Amino acid sequence: MNETTDLLIIGAGPAGMAAALAAASSGAHIVLLDDNPLPGGQIWRDGPQANLPTEARRLREQLHACANVRCHTGTRVITCAADKTLLVEDAERGWQITYERLILCTGARELLLPFPGWTLPGVTGAGGLQALIKGGLPVCGERLVIAGSGPLLLASAATAKHQGAQVLRIAEQASRAAVAGFAAQLPRWPGKLFQSISLFDHHYRTGSYVLEALGRERLEGVRLLQQGKTIELACDRLACGFGLIANTQLGQALGCALAGQALAVDAWQATTRVGHYAAGECSGFGGSELALVEGAIAGHAAIGNTAAAQRLWPRRARWQGFARALNKAFALDARLKTLARADTLVCRCEDVPYGELAGQENWREAKLASRCGMGACQGRVCGAALEHLFGWTPPTPRPPFSPARIDTLLHLEQTPPT
């Protein structure tokens, strides 16, 4: 059976949950869709070894109490079936959802940059390691190095230590001056100050980044440039993430314009397409607090409650200030573009090395010459890396946006409900 709704929200992280709760008081029929088993998104991912914050549990309970909010978990968007109609799929079936208004809360994914050895077993993203541990990955007694940029490194380290891992080094590529300047501003956001103090680890080093992951069959160690000196550490796991990339694929497919690398929104969190809103990290990075208030503004605006939305503008401005400070402090060092060697794989799906790409002019030429971006991930990993390395414009999103069953695709032949 196909489905109709007044308001469809894609993504049940902090922004999506806040949007649904803000809109629920109107009595409108709301559908909240997410590909995770439970609401919470990546930051509040649940699992056997997850320790959910109180706020995440409270929001989840409030959602369950809303009779006019229906949650479809474990569900992915496959393609746009018609105007204001999406084809979606869960583990059991595929169907179409037709909506009047839509809020995109599609979040972000990690930026992974290639360096020698980054494809060895035992090397993951920093956020990827955190998700694996929450899902039950045993790391007790393992030696870990966590590297890259941003507060996620400290959060991942804390998750790993809580499960018994030995964190040998947290290598932050930002300079000591940049991190110190950011820390000096944290009293403006007391909650973030206390959080940073609780997460601090004496193995944290600024001005440090990965040069190479070492090993033959799997990771055995890591070579770092640490404040100008090259060091090597034997380790069992390396988690390396260089910040976030906004998930704009669905928004672009729906005709929403970009502002830089994120979805463009106005003061009401409205995109450039009428009736379509965006909130959270798909419209820019700033942490869960900013995502929550943006989601609430989008939820109020989508149901026409502009007064309630406008009352939240000062809170959003406050957390936008935090976002600006964060993004400035942890801007990536240009030297990270020089880590890959000629034989370093960039496109892991199609085994395309850096040397085959360095002489190309753009994505189209690279794909014609090497099949880069044409594998299972459809350029989600290598596309972001090459945009950072060479400034290439990523390819235009093409459906299907996720792998789909044949019987799901057959729903495209059906007339959507009216």
CA–CA dist 14, 193 (Å, integer): 20
Q: 416 pLDDT band (50/70/90 cuts)? A: low
**Tokens standing for residue 53:** 């914050």
CATH ID of 3-109+245-326, from 3.50.50.60, 3.30.70.270, 3.30.365.10, 3.40.50.300: 3.50.50.60
Q: Which amino acid is it at 401?
A: F
- Length of the chain equals 418
**SS3 state of residue 148:** strand
Residue 385 contacts by C-beta under 8 Å, 6 or more apart in sequence?
111, 112, 113, 114, 346
pLDDT tens digits, 165-193: 999 999 999 999 999 999 999 999 999 98
What does the pLDDT read at residue 38?
83
Residue 246 contacts by C-beta under 8 Å, 6 or more apart in sequence?
108, 261, 262, 263, 281, 282, 283, 284, 285
Helices (H) and strands (E) in the chain, counts: 14, 21
pLDDT tens digits, 106-165: 999 999 999 999 999 999 999 999 989 988 999 999 999 999 999 999 999 999 999 999
What does the pLDDT read at residue 414?
67
Render 357-393 in DSSP notation, one character per residue: HTT-SSHHHHHHHH-TT-STTTTTTHHHHHHHHH-PP
Nearest C-alpha neighbor of 378 from the set 399, 360, 409:
399
Each domain of the chain, given as residue ranges in start order, spans: 3-109+245-326, 112-242, 340-390
What does the pLDDT read at residue 415?
55
CA–CA dist 295, 269 (Å, integer): 8
pLDDT at 329 over 90: yes
- Of 298-302, 323-327, 357-361, which range is least confident? 357-361
**SS3 state of residue 257:** coil
**DSSP-derived pairing of the beta strands 3-10 and 94-104:** parallel
**Tokens standing for residue 208:** 């440090």
Q: Tell me if 109 sits within 8 A of 15, measured CB to CB.
A: no
CATH architecture of 112-242: 3-Layer(bba) Sandwich (3.50)
Place of tokens 């090597």: 232
Place of tokens 């999103």: 397
CA–CA dist 195, 182 (Å, integer): 14
CA–CA dist 82, 92 (Å, integer): 22
What does the pLDDT read at residue 43?
76
**Same CATH fold assignment for domains 3-109+245-326 and 112-242:** yes
The overall longest dimension of the chain from CA atoms, in Å, is: 66
What does the pLDDT read at residue 44?
75
Calculate mean pLDDT across residues 64-77: 94
pLDDT at 278 over 60: yes
